[in-house]
Chains A and B, each alone.
Chain A
Amino acid sequence: MPFKSKASNTSTASAPLWLKILAYGGLVFLHFPIAVILLNAFLSSDGTLSANASWLSHFTLHWFSVAFAREDVISAILLSLKVASMATLLAILMGVMAAAALYKRNFFGKEAITAMLILPIALPGIITGIALLSAMSMLEISPSIWSIVVSHATFCVVMIYNNVIARFRRMPHNLVEASMDLGADGFTTFRYIVLPQLATALLAGALLAFALSFDELIVTIFTAGHEITLPIWLLNQLTRPRDAPITNVVAMMVMLITALPIIAAYYLTRGTETLEGSGK
Chain B
Amino acid sequence: MMQSVVSSLSTTNTSNKTLRWLANTLYRKDNLFLLLLLTPPLLWFGVVYLGSLFALLWQSFYTFDSFSMLVTPDLTLENYRSLFDATNFDIILRTLDMAVSVTIATALIGFPIAYYMTRYGSPAEKGFFYVAVILPMWASYIVKAYAWTVILSQQGVLYWCIHHLGLMSALNYILQIPNIGGNTLATSNIGRVIVFTYIWLPFMILPIQAALERVPSNLLQASADLGAKPAQTFRKILFPLVFPGVVAGSIFTFSLTLGDYIIPQLVGPSGLFIGTMVYTMQGSVGNIPLAAAFTVVPIILVSIYLAMAKRAGAFDAL
Contacts and interface: CB of A to CB of B under 8 A. Distances in A.
Contacts of B308: none
Interface in A110-162: 113, 116-117, 119-120, 122-128, 130-135, 138, 150, 153-154, 157
Contacts of A181: 2, 5
Contacts of A131: 49, 52-53, 55-56, 295
Query: How big is chain A's contact interface, by range?
Result: 35 or more
Given A20-B116, A254-B143, A255-B140, A126 B38 contact: no
Contacts of B38: 97-98, 101, 113
Contacts of B190: none
B141 A231 contact: yes
Contacts of B165: none
B138 A262 contact: yes
Interface string B41-65: 1101110111111011001000000
B50 A93 contact: no
B141 A11 contact: no
Contacts of A205: none
B56 A130 contact: yes
Most chain-A Cβ atoms within 10 A of its Cβ — which of B112, B131, B133? Answer: B112
A26 interface: yes
B170 interface: no
Given A124-B255, A275-B206, A117 B23 contact: no
Nearest to B281: A130
Nearest to B144: A33
B69 interface: no
B213 A130 contact: no
Contacts of B80: none
Interface residues of B, number: 107
Contact of A1 (B49, B203, B213, B255): B213
Contact of B6 (A6, A94, A180): A180
A237 B146 CA distance: 10
Nearest to B214: A1
A130 B282 contact: yes
A148 to B, nearest CB: 14
Interface of A is mostly: helix
B295 A105 contact: no
Nearest to A6: B213
B243 interface: no
A10 interface: yes
A259 B138 contact: yes
Given A10-B120, A134-B56, A187 B23 contact: yes
B317 to A, nearest CB: 11
Given A23-B113, A27-B132, A134-B55, A9 B217 contact: yes
Contact of A126 (B20, B122, B209, B261): B261
B151 interface: yes
Interface stretch (A66-74, A164-172, A210-218): A210-218
B142 A217 contact: yes
Contacts of B41: 94-95, 97-98, 113, 117, 157
Contact of A278 (B129, B198, B206, B275): B206
A90 B184 CA distance: 46
Contacts of B37: 97-98, 100-101
Contacts of B288: 134
A135 B147 contact: no
A180 B255 contact: no
Contacts of B136: 30-31, 33-34
A251 B143 contact: yes
B176 interface: no
Interface in A190-237: 190, 211, 215, 217-218, 231, 234-235, 237
Nearest to A15: B120
A174 B217 CA distance: 36
B155 interface: yes
20 contacts: A1-B213, A9-B213, A13-B120, A19-B116, A26-B201, A33-B144, A34-B144, A123-B259, A124-B259, A124-B260, A127-B53, A132-B48, A180-B2, A180-B6, A185-B9, A186-B23, A218-B261, A234-B143, A255-B143, A266-B131
Interface of B: 2, 5-6, 9, 11, 16, 19-20, 22-24, 26-27, 30, 34, 37-38, 40-42, 44-46, 48-53, 55-56, 59, 109-110, 112-113, 115-123, 126-127, 129-144, 146-151, 155-157, 160, 198, 201-203, 206-207, 209-210, 212-217, 252, 255-256, 258-262, 266, 275, 278-279, 282, 288, 291-292, 295, 298-299, 302
Given A23-B129, A98-B38, 13 more contacts: A9-B119, A27-B133, A93-B40, A113-B38, A124-B302, A135-B55, A180-B27, A185-B20, A188-B20, A254-B140, A258-B139, A277-B138, A280-B138
Interface of A: 1-4, 6-11, 13-15, 19-20, 22-23, 26-27, 29-34, 36-37, 40, 47-49, 93-95, 97-98, 100-101, 105, 107, 113, 116-117, 119-120, 122-128, 130-135, 138, 150, 153-154, 157, 177, 180-181, 183, 185-188, 190, 211, 215, 217-218, 231, 234-235, 237-238, 247, 251, 254-255, 258-259, 262-263, 266, 275, 277-280
